Amino acid sequence: MEHINRVCRSEGYPIVVENSPQLGNHAVASRDIPQGEGLLRAIPYAAEVFDNYKKRMCQVCLLYHNRGSFSYRCQDCDQVYFCSEACKSIAMDPRQGCHLKVCRTLRKLATWNSDRHTKSIIKLLLQVLMNHWRERQGIPTAYQSRRALEKEREEREKMVDADGLKAGIVSTGTDLEAITKEVAKLLEATTIMPTTTTATASPSQPSSEPNNSDKVNNRIQEPVENDFFDVLRLQSHFEDWDDEDQKDWNKQSHIVLSLLELADLTEMATGPEEKELHKLTSLDVKKLISALESNAFGMFDRTKKKPVCFGRAIYPIASFFNHSCECNATAVQADGSTEEVTGDAVLGLVAQEEEEFNKKKVAAAGATTPSSSLSTSASASSLTETTESESGTSTPLESGTVTPVEKEGTEEGETATLVIADPYDSRVGEFRMMTFFSIRDIPKGNIAAPYHHSSRLDNPRICSAPFVLRR
């Protein structure tokens, strides 16, 4: 975990991850943390969408289309979709993406008659092992590829100035026109922004002075990226499976191994220093499956009256934050909105949720519905997943237009706003980044506390979303 702490130190995150026999891996405040400060930003190590939402989520940047479907896709398997040509090119380029390695496997998995939970976990496992292979081959992550393209675009823009100069040479009208078209092509992409305001997070950048009260207004630019060995450190509850689960996964694990063999993903390293690869066994598969089931977080569309869970993501560092009903921090999951939220705004939304929850608890005796637009993260297994069929309801996004989608449960007249955006802009709203904020003052040295179940299971923020450093 030293690489995680190294990133935390270099980016100014006020936490470190430690390990103890009693608490396992846990987050510790490295200094006094004031209320409202951003603690950490992380991006998923792996993420997968449920089959019936596959046309709505970009496989690369995880942008979710909440009004229709994307038109860019892999035509060979028809199982992965993309928000832009830029993201598709990353996935299909063997120097940047790895889709071609799993394309046949995804196509075969799509024909497998199994429930949504099982298939989504297997797809997540496939993504995890593919990313492990990617690391061994030195292939950059999707986030790194997008950042590299963004820097390339910035360099190209610098080459074109207001006088039509390129690299210090006066360009002819034809040259300038060609350059302009090239830049326009790089900028060409579409982002769907909901008409409903949805909050996303912008954590604070601590200054060199620990008590700087203005720190919540600054940004930490780089999220923490985990590696495969952080996934291996996640707690597996394979030994706690009941007889029915054991029997079911004993049968399923052999099918999973055959799917992994098709993608040539049956080997893994057991540690950062291990040179020799370990051949995956049925037991390995079951342990990994259990770890993913226990630590996966739901990805939600919160623009609806009832949040819709459309997939799962693994944030290993987020699992190092334990839960507590006496929480002093919370997490916000970016959802594709370009709006950003400061620590003060998060505190206001948390207070609003608490107040509304208490009112509804008194009025409806637990029959509540989340009402805040704050995209707090939640375990995929903790919330009821709202199912939705795409058949006949999704409108492909193409030719610069959006057709409103009408379906049961949506408000009359809902529309989407089409915004021309930079496809290489790794802004806060993309990659389902998860940002942690302190909601109370946290003294230096305080550690994560275990989460205890309570009767407040009807409020996703109270019991599923907070990741805490207890006072």
User: Facing residues of 267 across strands?
Assistant: 279
Return the axis-axis angle of helices 142-158 and 173-187, rounded to nearest 10°.
160
Q: How confident is the model at residue 415 (pLDDT cuts 50, 70, 90)?
A: very low
Q: What is the pLDDT of residue 336?
A: 61
> What percentage of the chain has pLDDT greater than the value 90?
28
> Mean pLDDT over residues 186-199, rounded?
36
DSSP-based helix, strand, coil % in the chain, nearest 5 = 35, 20, 45
Interval 202-222 mean pLDDT:
43
Shortest CA distance to 425 belongs to which of 83, 166, 28? 83
Residue 201 gets which letter from DSSP? B
DSSP element (H, E) containing 344: helix 343-364
Confidence (pTM)? 0.72
Which of 73 and 35 is assigned the larger pLDDT?
73
**Which residue from 310, 311, 327, 292 is spatially nearest to 436, judged by alpha carbons?**
327
Phi first, then psi: give them for residue 69, nearest 5 degrees.
Answer: -135, 160
Amino acid at 138: G
Q: pLDDT tens digits, residue range 91-114?
A: 998 887 889 999 999 999 999 988
pLDDT for 160 equals 67
453 backbone dihedrals φ, ψ, rounded to 5°: -65, 150
Is the pLDDT at 138 greater than 80? The verdict is yes
Q: In angstroms, rounded to a whole number, what is the distance separating the alpha carbons of residues 175 and 173? A: 5
DSSP code per residue over 96-133: T--HHHHHHHHHHHHTS---HHHHHHHHHHHHHHHHHH
Domain ranges of the chain: 2-463
CA distance 471 to 448: 9
Which secondary structure element, helix H or strand E, spans residue 435, and what is its range? Answer: strand 434-438
On whether the CB atoms of residues 320 and 414 are closer than 8 A, the answer is: no
Mean pLDDT of all residues in 216-239: 78
Rounded distance between C-alpha atoms, residue 104 and residue 76, angstroms: 8
The per-residue pLDDT for 123 is: 96
Strand runs labelled E in 292-356: 296-301, 308-314, 329-333
Report pLDDT digits (tens) over 270-310. 888 888 899 999 999 999 999 999 999 999 888 778 888 99
Higher pLDDT, 280 or 461: 280
